[in-house]
A and B are shown apart, each in its own frame.
Chain A
Amino acid sequence: MQTRTLTFVLMDAPFESARTTTAMRLLDIAARRGYQLNVFAYEGAVGLTFARQAAHPNAAHGRDVHEENHPLPRDWISALMESASRNGGALRWVNCGLCVDERGVGEAIAGAARGSPTDLWQLAEQSDNTLVIATK
């Protein structure tokens, strides 16, 4: 299968929009194909890689933290990075630094870098295609 480089631009904050789930589904498909993947996260999306996201129990439903099995985007992204690598590709993740500072989410998972809109421009220039998934 021919290698492709795709860039995705994400804006939605974690735990808020089904667009994030669809974005992860798209990344999953491309990672399984061994594509070179770039993600530029800005605005609320910089929280997707925040390392201190925590699962929680659900007392209202009587479930402990394991039973609740709360999904965490940081875990999805780590898994996507592993999948891309395992299939011969890579997932490079860049967070907008100013957006990170505004939100105090600088503590990111391994593999998530800090950058600027200049990185987005460079990533897009190097890519076969770019998809912007903006907040609506």
Chain B
Amino acid sequence: MTEYLLIESRSPAESGDVAHGYALAAALAGQGDRVTLFLVQNGVLCVRRGARAEGLESAIRAGVTVLADDFSLRERGIPADRLAAQVAPAPLEAVIDRLAAGVKTLWN
């Protein structure tokens, strides 16, 4: 099993590429790899409860861990208790931790 960290800094409303990133995360998790999707900057907008993000729920169902940068959430006025289920706020240190551990990391 390989561990991956995928970073997404854009909202699905900004680019169709974002959905491809979610799909990649789901596919990797589906083949048994351990995948974390770290959302930062406008990437966190789609994890507000009730927001639509095509493909993100599928990724979560496939076993992808979804983290949202706590600083980006605060910048955008999104409180932690307004996040969608199965999405957790996390500090940016989570990215450095995984880089330092040798996790394969891709900024979509």
Contact B96 A30 (CB under 8 A): yes
Contact A19 B9 (CB under 8 A): yes
A124 to chain B, nearest CB (A): 13
Contacts of B99 on A, CB cut-off 8 Å? 4, 6, 30, 128-129, 131
> In the complex, which residues of chain A have a beta carbon less than 8 angstroms from the beta carbon of B92?
22, 25-26, 29
A33 at the interface (CB under 8 A from B): yes
* A interface: dominant SS: mixed
Minimum CB–CB distance from B32 to chain A (whole Å) comes to: 22
Residues of chain A at interface, number, CB under 8 A: 19
- Decide yes or no whether B103 CB sits under 8 A from chain A: yes
Instruction: Please report the number of residue pairs spanning A and B whose Cβ atoms sit closer than 8 angstroms.
Output: 48
The answer on a CB contact under 8 Å between A35 and B100 is yes
Residue A54 at the chain B interface, CB threshold 8 Å: no
Pairwise interchain contact A131-B100, C-beta atoms closer than 8 A: no
**Which residue in chain A gives the minimum CB-CB distance to B97?**
A29
Question: Are A132 and B93 neighbours in the complex by a CB distance under 8 Å?
Answer: no
Chain B residues whose C-beta falls within 8 Å of the C-beta of A131 in the assembled complex: 99, 105, 107
Could you tell me if A129 and B17 are in contact, using CB atoms closer than 8 angstroms? no
Q: How far is the CB of A5 from chain B (nearest CB, A)?
A: 9
Q: Name B's A-contacting residues (CB within 8 A).
A: 9-10, 15, 17, 40-42, 71, 92-93, 95-96, 99-100, 102-103, 105-107
A interface vs B, CB < 8 Å? 2, 4, 6, 18-19, 22, 25-26, 29-30, 33, 35, 128-129, 131-134, 136
Rank and list the top 7 A-B pairs by shortest CB-CB distance, nearest first.
A4-B100, A129-B99, A18-B41, A29-B96, A133-B107, A30-B96, A131-B105
